Amino acid sequence: MKKLLFYVLLIPIFLIANIGISKAAEEAKAPALQPVPEISKEDFAKATGIYFNRCGGCHGTLRKGATGKSLMPDKTLTKTVAKLAGIIYDGTEGGMPGWGTTGVLSKEESELLAKFIQHEPVAPPEWNMKDMKATWKLIVPPDKRPTAPAHKRNIENFFAVILRDAGQIGIIDGDTKEIVTVVNSGFAVHTLRYSYSGRYLYTIGRDAKATMVDLWMNPPQTVAEVKTGIEARSIDSSKYKGFYDKYAVVGNYWPPSYVILDGQTLEPLKIVSTRGYTYDTNEYHPELRVASIVASHHAPEWVLNIKEAGITLLVDYSKLSEGTITETRIDAERFLHDGGWDKTKRYFLVAANMRDKVVVIDTKDRKRVAVVETGVKPHPGRGANFNDPKNGPVYATPHLGEPMVALIGTAPEGKYKGNAWKVVRKLKTAGEGGLFIKTHPRSNNLWVDHTLAKSEDAYRSVSIFNIKDLDAPPKIIKLADRGRIVHMEYNKAGDEVWIALWDKKGEIIVFDDNTLKEKTRITDSRLVTPTGKFNVYNTRYDIY
């Protein structure tokens, strides 16, 4: 009995001792934290600006991590300023660009940023209806706009080109290749869409400034603008019958929300917060950002992808005028980014890039139908749809993390139903760092860029696959000896491909899609850092 008592008393002593040892071992394992470096007020403000412009998109405004890693001080203080500055300057194997080696940041700026991310993140201010209304400008009211196109140009073959660093949009006549006009937009303008009628162009800047251009005016002119938040990346319009050109919607990064605007005036009508809980761990997250948005053609709805939550929202706007918005919340996968329709426009395929997956949302039956593992960091842009001769209808996505395009079967009924939502083929491209892919229903070619590849040869070329012979390697064409090559777009006829040379002295390279020969280069001092380009007809009808 005495012996038993001895052992019973020994247990807690043993446990306490053990906890002490494991705690000490843990402490020994945990890397020592660096002291928080000093930064002057001015430098802190400067670093905040650089972080916003170059880093926040991937790492999050609150630095909790998304496409990029968490940059909270518990992580960053485990490294020295010199080590962090080196990573910022040189980039990483994981796909982060070398901001110094690509000529964007100096050594001093990389070091400043390194110190900045060792401080606690500061949340940007909120942005309420009052703030939005104060920035809303109705420059040309609807009754002062033309009642018919005031010029004879072919609007359906216009291309609106993003001039990123100029914060402008170039509007180019696709028939004559003339720059019709250049209009101001938001800071580091990110993307754009058209109203369903094709008359209005809606743009969104990184600073969440939305603008609206009337393509009927001669020359096209900005008719309204509004700042819907502090930071944003996506915009679209209402594309369902009865609601053409009625609403626009902006997906904000900060404050995490979407904002519904009047489609004729950009007057802000409704702000809906997206803050809340992640779909899987059900943890509260203060920065659930809106990534890609598409407008359904089959229902009065937008498909909005809430990045950090891993939730796809179907937002029904049909009763907005009665004060009702209906949200269907679909669990998808964490870190949703970009995506597009399958060719029937029933299924929306969206990349959860940090999970190496593409999620398939059925917008008719209103559910997730598949989560497809494709490869390292899929980045479809809006993707590409075509018929693989062997496997039937497919949706294609390039990858940031490997030189590969994955083809996913998209026909759950009929001859190819066994292929639905499976990777049926992988095509090897000339480089990793793939951002965009494009084809056209009238084309036999599939164009892929490798904009963020490490090798110069790769980021200055495109890979072109013959859709009729997908077993053959791609034709690789080097297009430049400076800058990077990014984003392809077809003309309305589907026989020309427009590609951007992304550089301070930018160019638009126009290819004959049949001969794969360069047709012309559009050069002009106003073409500063062109990135995305959007043909009115193809964008309006989601042809890709």
Residues contributing to the site for ligand DHE (CB under 6 A): 57-58, 67, 164, 190-191, 233-234, 291-293, 337-338, 381-382, 435, 486-487, 531-532
The answer for 228, left when phi > 0, alpha when psi is -120 to 50, beta otherwise, is: alpha
- 450 as an active site residue: the answer is no
Question: Residue 247 contacts by C-beta under 8 Å, 6 or more apart in sequence?
Answer: 237, 238, 260, 261, 262, 263, 269, 317, 320
C-beta atoms surrounding 314 within 10 Å? 19
In this complex, which beta carbon is closest to ligand DHE, that of residue 86 or of residue 340?
A: 340
Min CB(487)–ligand DHE separation in Å: 5
- 129 as an active site residue: the answer is no
C-alpha 367/C-alpha 390 separation (Å) is 28
Catalytic residue among 72, 132, 212, 337: 337
C-alpha 120/C-alpha 176 separation (Å) is 53
The residue of the chain with the least Cβ separation from ligand DHE equals 57
Min CB(58)–ligand DHE separation in Å: 5
Please give the order of strands across the beta sheet that includes 367-373. Answer: 336-341, 347-352, 357-362, 367-373
C-alpha 75/C-alpha 65 separation (Å) is 11
Angle of the 81-90 helix axis to the 107-116 helix axis, nearest 10: 120
Question: Residue 461 contacts by C-beta under 8 Å, 6 or more apart in sequence?
Answer: 430, 431, 450, 476, 477, 478, 479, 485
Min CB(433)–ligand DHE separation in Å: 10
In this complex, which beta carbon is closest to ligand DHE, that of residue 361 or of residue 435?
A: 435
Question: 507, 521 in Cβ contact below 8 A?
Answer: yes
Min CB(247)–ligand DHE separation in Å: 15
Min CB(329)–ligand DHE separation in Å: 19
Min CB(519)–ligand DHE separation in Å: 21
> Strand (E) positions, 323-435?
326-331, 336-341, 347-352, 357-362, 367-373, 384-388, 392-397, 404-409, 423-428
Q: Between the CA of residue 58 and those of 51, 66, 96, 520, what are the distances in Å?
A: 10, 6, 9, 35
In this complex, which beta carbon is closest to ligand DHE, that of residue 51 or of residue 465?
A: 51
Burial of 321 (0-12, 13-18, 19+ CB in 10 A): exposed
Which of helix, strand or coil describes residue 422?
Answer: coil
- 404 as an active site residue: the answer is no
Task: Please state whether the peptide bond connecting residue 255 to the residue before it is cis, i.e. omega within 30 degrees of 0.
Answer: yes
Q: Between the CA of residue 402 and those of 285, 390, 397, what are the distances in Å?
A: 30, 24, 12
Min CB(246)–ligand DHE separation in Å: 19
Min CB(89)–ligand DHE separation in Å: 18
C-alpha 67/C-alpha 160 separation (Å) is 28
Min CB(75)–ligand DHE separation in Å: 19
C-alpha 448/C-alpha 250 separation (Å) is 28
- 337 as an active site residue: the answer is yes
The answer for 392, left when phi > 0, alpha when psi is -120 to 50, beta otherwise, is: left
Question: 320, 270 in Cβ contact below 8 A?
Answer: yes
In this complex, which beta carbon is closest to ligand DHE, that of residue 424 or of residue 500?
A: 500
State the alpha helices, DSSP H only, in 128-279.
129-135
- 151 as an active site residue: the answer is no
- 297 as an active site residue: the answer is no
| Cα angle, residue 95 at apex, residues 89 and 97 outer, rounded to 5° | 30
> So which residues are the catalytic ones?
55, 58-59, 96, 337, 379
